[in-house]
């Protein structure tokens, strides 16, 4: 039985459609209920919905053999997993944003509000810039407005939220997209089925 | 006599591994839990993490709880041509866990062969690594690679250290898409990108892997990759003859730590354990950094991970709960306990029924014998 951790939400639904097209369908997943685990014994596959930021934990710890996680999460937590495929889904950018007309004169420690402490630290360490990280769990955009921070490091999809809060992208750290990941140990013992899924999903990605 | 049913997976493994290593002439090596902190500072590059638990000893010297066993073994011993020191150990080390970011006690067993090491010794270590895994589970995989080939290929393709570090990271993640993007960023041509990608995509079957390596090595200007290929081929030929050959796969995305290892490397997995349980290989660089002229090969098994195999939990704590009261003669209680044990059962003698004790049978001393 292959255990697949899917991220809850729209991205997860798109990913499931790819698994379905790869021949690993599980019709019960489309029933409108609150169940989180769905199994198709005949196809030897079990799906479960988890919080997107938790997918890599399930996979790293072997509760899921494979899963789909955003590159942001993989960079932030560096789980010891295989990153098999870029799904080209859920595309966005990890960026530094600041109030319009913000100018960093480099004179004092830069206050950075973010959910992604590790990515932000690595980025500014690369620039040799001294920063003060302020870890927030949501509504990051209001931090510079209220004077809590000078800039934010966050995911930017369309930029609408930034615009509505009078912020703009100052620099792009890196592009983000969803990745197919696998537990390193499970990959050794289920390589045939994981490779089969991988090949089929890659064909679908390449076609788009 | 030890009742094997009572042993946990990790305890059973220690016994069987000890007996295996002794058969091949490896001697036990018992060491202190502490080491001078200075040794780790001097060899920081060779440690998994530089976060170490330190304390001052009674003379004020800064000491550390061992994060690694190998450094302590290498610093003792002498180099005599033709001589090899073969040792095995079973020790606890203290490291920061990647997932919890807290210090963790890790039970390690392993072996080291240090001295005038040749291909036979590398074969012996790889064979014993496979054999060790087979003692833990029938369903295991030992992956073998040679970092000498990747190292030379990377040197020839791009000498930038930042590129090499990132490329090695992507190869170990089997991350072909980010590796290709990195190559584009550094202006690496398509042919060389394909060569690097093949370290990820070609794995498993020995002949297929060898064929790919041959074509990679033929494009290398230096001789290091070619001699690494000869060594790899010879080793895989020897391992092919073992009864465990179907459990040994060749995968060049296994790089372990390239600061530490310089030749053949291996990694072991057991079905049901979510991460690699064995890691090892040839580590001449470390030995030479410690001022010795020798070579070395060895591996470590992370026995604490075997806990994950203890999935089946017993449905009771004892077979019999024996309840006695103050009036019962203690000699009678002792006699009854010994009789139950002689019948092959386990027993807990109590004056009252403990709240969470699970038992199969209840026996009361006061009112005769009552069974539930």
Tens-digit pLDDT profile for residues A189-201: 999 999 999 999 9
Residues linked to residue B143 through DSSP beta bridges, in sequence order: B249, B267
Query: A183 pLDDT band (50/70/90 cuts)?
Result: very high
Residue B311: per-residue pLDDT: 62
Structure tokens at A141: 């955009």
How many Å apart are CA B93 and CA B107, to the nearest integer?
7
Residue A62: per-residue pLDDT: 94
Do residues B325 and B226 both lie within one domain? no
Q: If you count residue pairs, one on A and one on B, with CB atoms under 8 Å apart, how many are there?
A: 46
How many Å apart are CA B207 and CA A121, to the nearest integer?
45
Last residue of a domain, one of B310, B327, B353: B310
Q: Are A189 and B141 within 8 A, CB to CB?
A: yes
Q: Are A61 and B274 within 8 A, CB to CB?
A: yes
Do residues B326 and B257 both lie within one domain? no
* B269: contact with A, CB 8 A cutoff: yes
In this structure, the number of other CB atoms found within 10 A of the CB of residue A141 comes to: 18
Domains identified in chain B, total number: 2
Last residue of a domain, one of B263, B279, B310: B310
Cβ-based burial of A37 (10 A; exposed 0-12, middle 13-18, buried ≥19): exposed
Distance to chain A for B165, nearest Cα, Å: 15
How many Å apart are CA A19 and CA B259, to the nearest integer?
39
* B274: contact with A, CB 8 A cutoff: yes
Do residues B189 and B98 both lie within one domain? yes
Nearest to B98 among A80, A183, A186 (CB): A80
Residues linked to residue A114 through DSSP beta bridges, in sequence order: A135, A153
Determine the structural domain holding residue B18 and report its residue range: 4-310
Residue B39: per-residue pLDDT: 84
Which helix or strand (DSSP H or E) is residue A46 part of?
A: strand A45-50
| B interface test, pick of A3, A188, A189, A195 with most B CB neighbours within 10 Å | A188
Do residues B184 and B275 both lie within one domain? yes
| B interface test, pick of A84, A184, A189 with most B CB neighbours within 10 Å | A184
Q: Are A188 and B274 within 8 A, CB to CB?
A: no
Helix (H, G, I), strand (E, B) or coil at B9: helix
- Which residue pairs, CB below 8 angstroms and at least 24 apart, start in A37-43? A39/A1, A41/A1
Distance of alpha carbon B123 from its chain centroid, rounded?
A: 17
Do residues B363 and B277 both lie within one domain? no
Mean pLDDT of A34-52: 91
Do residues B103 and B152 both lie within one domain? yes
Cβ-based contacts of B274 with chain A (< 8 Å): 60-62, 183, 185-186
Do residues B261 and B360 both lie within one domain? no
Last residue of a domain, one of B259, B290, B310: B310
Structure tokens at B91: 């020790």
CATH number of domain containing B131: 3.30.930.10
Taking a C-beta distance cutoff of 8 angstroms, is the pair B251, B275 a contact? no
Do residues B303 and B344 both lie within one domain? no
Residue A204: per-residue pLDDT: 93
Q: Are A184 and B271 within 8 A, CB to CB?
A: no
Query: A81 pLDDT band (50/70/90 cuts)?
Result: very high
- Closest residue of chain B to A61, computed from CA coordinates: B274
Phi-psi group of B305: left, alpha or beta (phi > 0 → left; psi -120 to 50 → alpha; rest → beta)? alpha
Structure tokens at B47: 């440690």
**Whose CA is closest to B263, among B279, B281, B288, B290?**
B281
Q: Are B249 and A62 within 8 A, CB to CB?
A: no
pTM of the model: 0.86
Distance to chain A for B343, nearest Cα, Å: 42
Do residues B183 and B256 both lie within one domain? yes
> Angle of helix B161-172 relative to helix B190-201, nearest 10 degrees?
40
Taking a C-beta distance cutoff of 8 angstroms, is the pair B327, B366 a contact? yes
- Closest residue of chain B to A57, computed from CA coordinates: B99
- Closest residue of chain A to B277, computed from CA coordinates: A185
Residue B372: per-residue pLDDT: 44
* B35: contact with A, CB 8 A cutoff: no
Q: Are A80 and B275 within 8 A, CB to CB?
A: yes
Residue A175: per-residue pLDDT: 94
Distance to chain A for B254, nearest Cα, Å: 11
Do residues B324 and B300 both lie within one domain? no
Sheet holding B34-36, edge to edge: B34-36, B62-65, B54-56
Do residues B116 and B207 both lie within one domain? yes
Cβ-based contacts of A85 with chain B (< 8 Å): 177
Spell out the residues 6+ positions from residue B105 whose beta carbon is closer than 8 angstroms to its own: B92, B93, B94, B304
Q: Are A84 and B143 within 8 A, CB to CB?
A: no
Cβ-based contacts of A84 with chain B (< 8 Å): 174-175
Residue A190: per-residue pLDDT: 93
Q: Are A184 and B99 within 8 A, CB to CB?
A: no
Do residues B305 and B365 both lie within one domain? no
With a cut of 50, list the residues of chain B below it in pLDDT. Answer: 370-372
Q: Are B275 and A188 within 8 A, CB to CB?
A: no
CB contact residues (below 8 A), chain B span 189-208, against chain A: 204
Q: Calculate the CA dihedral of residues A185, A189, A191, A193 and round it to 10 degrees.
A: -120
Which range (A82-96, A111-125, B29-43) has the least confidence? B29-43
How many Å apart are CA A66 and CA A55, to the nearest integer?
9
């Amino acid at each position: 039985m292959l255990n697949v951790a899917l991220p809850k939400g729209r991205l997860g639904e798109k990913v499931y459609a790819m698994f379905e097209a790869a021949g690993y369908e599980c019709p019960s997943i489309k029933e409108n209920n609150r169940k989180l685990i769905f199994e198709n014994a005949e196809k030897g596959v079990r799906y479960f919905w988890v919080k997107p930021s938790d997918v890599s934990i399930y996979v790293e710890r072997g509760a899921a053999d494979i899963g789909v996680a955003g590159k942001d999460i993989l960079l932030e937590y560096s789980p010891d997993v295989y990153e098999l495929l870029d799904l080209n889904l859920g595309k966005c950018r990890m960026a530094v944003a600041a109030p319009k007309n913000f100018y960093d004169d480099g004179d004092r420690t830069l206050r950075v509000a973010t959910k992604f402490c590790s990515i932000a630290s690595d980025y500014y360490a690369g620039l040799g810039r001294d920063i003060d990280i302020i870890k927030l769990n949501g509504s990051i955009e209001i931090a510079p407005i209220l004077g809590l921070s000078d800039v934010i490091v966050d995911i930017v999809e369309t930029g609408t939220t930034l615009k509505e809060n009078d912020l703009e992208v100052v620099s792009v750290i890196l592009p983000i997209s969803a990745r197919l990941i696998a537990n390193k140990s499970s990959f050794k013992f289920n390589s045939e089925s994981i490779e089969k899924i991988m090949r089929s999903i890659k064909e679908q990605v390449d076609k788009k | 006599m030890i009742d094997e049913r009572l042993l946990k997976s990790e305890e059973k493994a220690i016994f069987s591994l000890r007996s295996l290593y002794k058969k091949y002439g490896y001697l036990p090596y018992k060491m202190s839990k502490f080491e001078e902190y200075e040794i780790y500072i001097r060899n920081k590059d060779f440690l998994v993490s530089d976060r170490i638990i330190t304390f001052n000893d009674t003379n004020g010297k800064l000491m550390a709880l061992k994060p690694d066993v190998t450094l302590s073994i290498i610093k003792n011993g002498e180099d005599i041509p033709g001589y090899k020191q073969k040792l095995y150990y079973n020790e606890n080390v203290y490291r920061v866990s990647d997932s919890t970011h807290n210090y963790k006690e890790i039970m390690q067993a392993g072996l080291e062969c240090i001295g005038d090491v040749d291909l036979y010794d590398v074969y012996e270590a790889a064979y014993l690594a496979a054999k060790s895994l087979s003692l833990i589970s029938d369903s295991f995989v030992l992956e073998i690679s040679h970092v000498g080939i990747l190292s030379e290929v990377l040197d020839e393709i791009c000498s930038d250290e930042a590129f090499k570090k990132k490329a090695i990271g992507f190869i170990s993640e089997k991350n072909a898409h980010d590796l290709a993007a990195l190559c584009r960023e550094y202006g690496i041509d398509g042919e060389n990108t394909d060569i690097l990608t093949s370290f990820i995509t070609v794995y498993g079957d020995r002949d297929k892997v060898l064929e790919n390596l041959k074509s990679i090595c033929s494009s290398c200007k230096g001789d290091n990759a070619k001699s690494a290929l000869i060594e790899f081929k010879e080793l895989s030929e020897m391992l092919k003859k073992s009864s465990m050959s179907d459990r040994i796969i060749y995968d060049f995305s296994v790089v372990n730590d390239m600061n530490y290892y310089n030749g053949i490397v291996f990694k072991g997995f057991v079905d049901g354990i979510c991460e690699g349980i064995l890691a090892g290989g040839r580590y001449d660089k470390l030995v030479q950094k410690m001022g010795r002229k020798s070579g070395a090969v060895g591996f470590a098994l992370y026995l604490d991970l075997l806990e994950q195999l203890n999935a089946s939990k017993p449905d009771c704590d004892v077979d019999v709960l024996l309840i006695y009261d103050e009036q019962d003669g203690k000699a009678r209680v002792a006699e009854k306990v010994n009789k139950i044990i002689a019948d092959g059962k386990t027993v807990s003698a109590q004056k009252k029924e403990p709240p969470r004790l699970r038992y199969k049978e209840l026996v009361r001393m006061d009112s005769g014998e009552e069974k539930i």
